[in-house]
Amino acid sequence: KRTQDYVNLMLDRMRQDSRYRNMMNKDYLVDVCNAAPLHDIGKIATPDHILQKPGKLTDEEYAVMKQHAACGGDLIKNTFKDLDDPEFMQIAYEVARHHHEKYNGKGYPDGLAGEDIPLHARVMAIADVFDAVSQKRCYRDAMPIDECFEIIEKGAGKDFDPALVKI
């Protein structure tokens, strides 16, 4: 719900920006907002001992955790394959699969870079990280809001689309 709200806020601002205005039609906005809560659906295949580990993950555990993005995309494709809304299915698939891609190409699962990452996945990436750092986790406290924004700003051009960071 929180990430959906963050995505909705970003899309609303993007509608006011000439770079994005033409693609921000009602169907697209609804589809992206409805896909946002599904971004981590692949974590249902991640063992609880990894998801709930109170400390740092080992390299092996992190490799398992990273599989959730590709797994989520596969789950959405297989679950929604007969859905009579191929646009939503594609957006949900791309949000789940590509929300951990990095603008510099060093993300996962496919190593996409820049604008090869679907726009909605680039938006989701920012919303997901903001949510992750602003909320208490089993392994750390929530960060102050100004530090959360700083993390996003420092990731511009590396982790995140710099134009979206400005938004």
DSSP string, 112-135: --GGGS-HHHHHHHHHHHHHHHHS
Least reliable range by pLDDT among 53-62, 67-76, 112-121: 53-62
Catalytic site includes residue 154: no
pLDDT score, position 3: 95
Average pLDDT over residues 68-72: 98
Average pLDDT over residues 65-73: 98
List the catalytic residue out of 26, 43, 77, 136. Answer: 43
* pLDDT tens, residue by residue, 12-61: 999 999 999 899 999 999 999 999 999 999 999 999 999 999 888 999 99
pLDDT for 142 beyond 80: yes
Q: How confident is the model at residue 81 (pLDDT cuts 50, 70, 90)?
A: confident
Q: Report the 3 state secondary structure along 9-30.
A: HHHHHHCCCCCCHHHCCHHHHH
